[in-house]
Amino acid sequence: MSEDAISTIPVPSAPKRRLRGIRFNLEVRRDISSWWQAAYLAGFIALGIGISAIILIWAGVPAGDLVDQFLVETLTDSDNLRSVLFQGAPFILVGLSASVAFRARFWNLGLEGQMIWGGIGATFISIHHIGPEAFRLPIMIFAAAACAMAWVAIAGQLKLKLAVNEIISTLLMNYVALNFLYHLLYGPWRDATDGFPHSPKYADFERLPDVFGFSGALPLALIVALVIWWLVSFTRFGFYMKFVQASDKVAGAVGIPVARITLISVLLSGALAGIAGFVVASGQEGRLIQNFSDGYLFSGILIAFLSRNNPIVAVIVAMLVSMLFISGQSLQVFYQIPFAMVQLVQAIVVICVAASEFLIRHRIHIVR
């Protein structure tokens, strides 16, 4: 039989292994239908949620109340619903930010630092009253994006020119950005009227307008998501990104401008995070406050990871994360569960999904 007619890919492994008398063989699957993949994914997400539920019950939340809190209350209570819809916007944006960067093989873990700079940029415009009232809002958004872009560009150039590991550099820069924020809020930008460490309030025309009674942040985020989706699915840039993600060596060899594609992706990622920062600062308190960026880094990573960097799926996952977030706040108020629980649930889900990849890629044969 000619070797050309068949694939030689999946060579199953070595001699059968023994595990306490059960012999099993590990085989790489040749291909797996998308339906099965989705089923496995859903199953493991459910497992993750299940484990989290058990922890919550052990921590003192009555089981019945869990479903109540997480699903019913968040969606039916109108205040909660408003919060969920509003919160969804920055989650969508950081999720997109992480996805765009990951597609270019750049681990942008500086999301929170970039959000901070986004907030700083917008607040600068507000404090110094730059630009006419009618254009103030777009200018603030632009400034937010620009500052965040400049911040991430440092890490981006360090990687491209000096091969400095971006995981550590972007993370360290988060701490630098945070301390700078404290410096501003406790110093020059401290609100003179009440002496608290937050910036002076934004004027009404400097905040996102409401649309149909709900915050304008969500429509903004959805439009951005559509733009990103168009970018990665239909444009030449998106096509090139696919290659860079698959193998930057091959991409370079076939003539794709890898460095340029990577840099643009990184800058775009930064801009998205910066806008997210502005959305949170402007929408939550209407001013720059101390820890407004907390919790967004891992949320962004989770959204990118679960949605496999697909912008449309990212929107859905972001809304689910938003529900988790708001429920977390309720849990904190009613059951004294620390907000860190949200982070724990997120981590458990990611771990379960990551573990599921193994089962998707391999098949285990029990040999008797």
Looking only at residues 1 through 20 of this chain, which bind other proteins when binding is defined by CB under 8 A?
Answer: 1-16
To the nearest whole angstrom, how small is the minimum distance from the Cβ of residue 115 to other proteins?
A: 17
To the nearest whole angstrom, how small is the minimum distance from the Cβ of residue 238 to other proteins?
A: 8
Nearer to other proteins, 38 or 176 (CB): 176
267 binds other proteins (CB under 8 A): no
57 binds other proteins (CB under 8 A): no
365 binds other proteins (CB under 8 A): no
Q: Report angle CA 319, 44, 60 to the nearest 5 degrees.
A: 75
Q: Which of 50, 48, 145, 151 is nearest to 93 (CA)?
A: 145
To the nearest whole angstrom, how small is the minimum distance from the Cβ of residue 20 to other proteins?
A: 16
The full DSSP string for 198-251 is SPPPPPGGGSPPEETTEETHHHHHHHHHHHHHHHHHHSHHHHHHHHHHH-HHHH
196 binds other proteins (CB under 8 A): no
Mutual orientation of helices 296-306 and 311-335 as an angle, nearest 10°? 140
The window from 86-94, 119-127, 175-183, 316-324 that contacts other proteins (CB under 8 A) reads: 175-183
- How many Cα neighbours within 13 Å face the side chain of 333? 7
Q: Kindly state the tokens that stand for 325.
A: 């977030």
User: Taking the alpha carbons of 193, 198, 202, 208 in that order, is the dihedral positive or negative?
Assistant: negative
Query: Of these, 225, 301, 321, 326, which contacts other proteins (CB under 8 A)?
Result: 301
Quick check: helix, strand or coil at residue 22? strand
Mutual orientation of helices 258-280 and 236-246 as an angle, nearest 10°? 100
The residues, any chain, with a CB within 8 Å of residue 262's CB and separated by 6 or more, are 104, 105, 106, 156, 160, 244, 248
Query: Of these, 86, 117, 124, 298, which contacts other proteins (CB under 8 A)?
Result: 298
Nearer to other proteins, 197 or 219 (CB): 197
The window from 123-131, 134-142, 269-277, 344-352 that contacts other proteins (CB under 8 A) reads: 344-352
Segment 271 to 290, residues that bind other proteins, using CB under 8 A: none
Strand ranges inside the chain, DSSP E:
17-19, 22-28, 210-211, 214-215, 362-367
Distance between CA atoms of residues 198 and 190, nearest Å? 6
Segment 58 to 117, residues that bind other proteins, using CB under 8 A: 59, 107, 109
179 binds other proteins (CB under 8 A): yes
The window from 138-146, 160-168, 192-200, 273-281 that contacts other proteins (CB under 8 A) reads: 160-168
The window from 143-151, 212-220, 239-247, 276-284 that contacts other proteins (CB under 8 A) reads: 239-247
308 binds other proteins (CB under 8 A): no
53 binds other proteins (CB under 8 A): no
236 binds other proteins (CB under 8 A): yes
264 binds other proteins (CB under 8 A): no
- How many Cα neighbours within 13 Å face the side chain of 43? 11
Nearer to other proteins, 77 or 180 (CB): 180
The residues, any chain, with a CB within 8 Å of residue 304's CB and separated by 6 or more, are 95, 98, 99, 102, 314
Nearer to other proteins, 55 or 85 (CB): 55
To the nearest whole angstrom, how small is the minimum distance from the Cβ of residue 135 to other proteins?
A: 27
| Binding-site size, other proteins (CB under 8 A) | 83
CB 69 within 8 A of CB 327: yes
Nearer to other proteins, 63 or 211 (CB): 63
